[in-house]
C-alpha cells in the first residue's frame, strides 16, 4: 500500500488535500465566453478568492494543504518529465506545435503558471491577426473545482477523461502529479483519462465518484460520466480484488443542478449522509444499480429501490439528512447552491457553505454543532473541542461557479476509518 496516497472512505481523518486558489484565469471570462468554459455567469475574483482563502485556512488547521500549481512546478523540474508534459499538451492542442521551443525555454515556474492562466495566441500572421481566438491554450477557470480532474481510490488513481475538452488540461496536470511527484506518486491508474486512444464515450469526472468504504463505491451516470467509463472502471477493479467489491451506479438527470452525484448525495459521518430528498428517496428518486464484483471476475447487476436501501444491503446503514429541510422550496433552492456538497475532514466533522441555512438547521437537529469558519480562524473556538461539527464558509459567490466544498478539494490521503 502506498504511503503517499490512500483513500478508502469519504470521511477518514484527512492527511493530505490538494486545492487551487483561484487567480487571474477566472478574470479571463467574459459574459460572452462564460458558457464556453461551463459557467452560467462571470465571477468577481476578489470575492471568490477571499472566500476560497477562508476554506484554505480552515483546511490548514486540520491537515496538510498543497497547491496544485506548486506540485506541477515541482514535477516540471525534471527535464524528462517537462518534455513529456509539453508533448502531451501538443497532442491535445496540435496548434501549439509551432510554439514547442518556447515551452522548452520556459522555467517550471513559468510553464506551470502559463498552462493555468492560459497562453495567448501570437498574432504573427494575417490569419491569426484576424482570428477572434485570444488563446492558443485556454485558461482554466474551472481548476479551483479540483475534485473533477482526478480521484484516489484505495492507493490508485482515476484521472478524468473530461466530458468537456476545455477541461482536459486539468486532467493532464493531475496525471503528471500522481505519476511523478515524490509525495503523490500512486501505485498506478485504474483509469487514465489522458491516455492516447481513449474512446470518446469514456468520460468520467471525480464529482461523480464517492469512495464510501474500502469495498464500496458510488458512481453517478451523468452528463459528465458515462456508463461506458463505469464498465471500464469495474473491469479494472476486478483485477485487483480479493473479496467482493460493490459499485452503486446512480443514473442522474441531465440537468445543470445535477452535473455530478455529489450534488445530490455526500457522506459526512459513519452513519450520516446529506441528500437531495426528491432524487434519492422521493417520487422522483433516481434509478440505482448495485454491481457486485467477485474476485473471480464475475459481475452481477441488480436494481435497488434507492441508494440508501442499496447501501444498507452491503452493511452501510446511513441516516439521511435532507438538504433544505422539509420544505420543497428550500430543498430546490439550497440544492442549487450546493447544499448537499459537504467535505468531511474526519468522521462527523465537515465543511460546507453557510448560505444553505435550512440544511444547516437540519444538521443541527441531528446533534451537529454549526459554526462559521471565522470562529476557528480567530481562535474564538477550537475544532478539537467538538465531536460533531459543521463548519460554514462564505460561499454564495463560489456556489455560482457550479460546485461546493467537496468539489473544490482533492483529498489524496486519509487515515482508515474504525468502523
Question: What sign results for the dihedral spanned by CA atoms 69, 70, 75, 79?
Answer: positive
- CATH no., domain 14-78+138-414: 3.75.10.10
Cβ(274)–Cβ(351) below 8 Å: no
Helix, strand, coil percentages in the chain from 3-state DSSP, rounded to 5: 35, 25, 40
> What are the extents of the domains in the chain?
14-78+138-414, 79-137
pLDDT in tens, 371-411: 999 999 999 999 999 999 999 999 888 888 889 999 999 99
CA 100 to chain centroid: 31
pLDDT at res. 1: 47
Alpha carbons 389 and 173: distance in angstroms, whole number:
33
pLDDT at res. 130: 72
pLDDT at res. 156: 95
> How far separated are the first and last CA of the chain, in Å rounded?
20
Question: What sign results for the dihedral spanned by CA atoms 110, 115, 121, 124?
Answer: positive
Q: How many helices (H) and strands (E) does the chain have?
A: 15, 20
- pTM for the model stands at 0.94
Question: What sign results for the dihedral spanned by CA atoms 372, 377, 382, 384?
Answer: positive
Q: What is the mean pLDDT of each run of 10 residues along the chain (419 residues)?
A: 86 98 86 64 86 97 98 98 97 92 96 94 76 81 93 94 81 97 94 78 90 98 93 91 96 90 98 98 94 94 98 98 97 96 99 98 98 97 97 90 93 96
pLDDT in tens, 16-65: 999 999 998 888 777 766 666 556 667 888 999 999 999 999 999 999 99
Alpha carbons 233 and 190: distance in angstroms, whole number:
6
Amino acid at each position: 500500500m502506498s504511503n503517499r496516497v490512500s483513500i478508502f472512505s469519504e470521511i477518514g481523518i484527512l492527511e493530505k488535500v490538494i486545492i487551487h486558489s483561484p487567480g487571474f484565469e477566472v478574470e479571463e471570462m467574459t459574459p460572452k465566453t462564460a458558457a464556453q468554459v461551463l459557467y452560467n455567469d462571470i465571477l468577481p475574483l476578489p470575492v471568490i478568492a477571499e472566500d476560497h482563502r477562508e476554506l484554505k485556512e480552515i483546511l490548514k488547521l486540520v491537515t496538510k494543504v498543497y497547491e496544485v500549481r506548486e506540485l506541477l512546478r515541482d514535477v516540471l523540474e525534471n527535464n524528462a518529465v517537462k518534455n513529456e508534459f509539453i508533448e502531451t499538451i501538443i497532442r491535445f492542442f496540435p496548434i501549439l506545435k509551432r510554439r514547442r521551443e518556447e515551452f522548452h525555454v520556459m522555467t517550471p515556474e513559468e510553464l506551470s503558471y502559463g498552462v493555468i492562466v492560459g497562453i495567448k495566441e501570437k498574432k504573427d500572421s494575417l490569419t491569426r491577426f484576424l482570428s477572434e481566438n485570444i488563446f492558443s491554450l485556454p485558461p482554466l477557470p474551472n481548476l479551483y473545482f479540483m475534485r473533477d480532474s482526478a480521484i484516489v481510490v484505495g492507493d490508485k488513481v482515476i484521472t478524468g477523461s473530461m466530458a468537456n475538452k476545455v477541461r482536459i488540461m486539468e486532467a493532464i496536470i493531475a496525471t503528471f502529479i500522481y505519476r511523478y511527484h515524490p509525495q503523490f506518486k500512486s501505485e498506478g491508474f485504474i483509469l487514465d483519462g489522458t491516455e492516447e486512444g481513449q474512446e470518446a464515450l469514456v468520460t468520467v469526472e471525480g464529482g461523480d465518484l464517492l469512495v464510501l468504504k474500502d469495498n464500496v463505491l458510488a458512481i453517478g451516470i451523468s452528463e459528465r460520466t458515462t456508463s461506458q467509463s463505469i464498465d471500464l472502471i469495474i473491469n479494472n477493479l476486478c483485477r485487483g480484488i480479493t473479496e467482493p467489491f460493490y459499485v452503486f451506479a446512480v443514473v442522474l438527470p441531465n440537468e445543470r443542478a445535477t452535473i455530478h452525484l455529489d450534488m445530490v448525495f455526500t457522506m459526512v459521518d459513519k452513519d450520516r449522509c446529506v441528500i437531495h430528498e426528491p432524487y434519492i428517496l422521493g417520487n422522483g428518486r433516481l434509478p440505482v444499480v448495485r454491481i457486485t464484483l467477485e474476485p473471480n471476475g464475475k459481475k452481477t447487476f441488480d436494481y435497488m429501490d434507492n441508494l440508501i436501501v442499496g447501501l444498507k444491503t452491503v452493511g452501510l446503514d446511513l441516516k439521511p439528512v435532507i438538504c433544505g429541510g422539509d420544505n420543497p422550496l428550500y430543498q430546490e433552492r439550497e440544492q442549487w447552491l450546493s447544499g448537499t456538497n459537504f467535505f468531511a475532514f474526519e468522521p462527523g466533522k465537515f465543511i460546507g457553505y453557510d448560505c444553505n441555512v435550512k440544511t444547516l438547521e437540519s444538521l443541527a437537529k441531528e446533534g451537529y454543532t454549526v459554526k462559521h469558519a471565522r470562529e476557528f480562524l480567530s481562535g474564538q473556538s477550537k475544532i478539537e473541542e467538538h465531536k460533531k461539527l459543521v463548519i460554514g464558509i462564505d460561499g454564495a459567490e463560489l456556489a455560482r461557479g457550479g460546485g461546493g466544498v467537496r468539489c473544490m478539494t482533492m483529498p489524496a490521503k486519509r487515515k482508515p476509518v474504525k468502523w
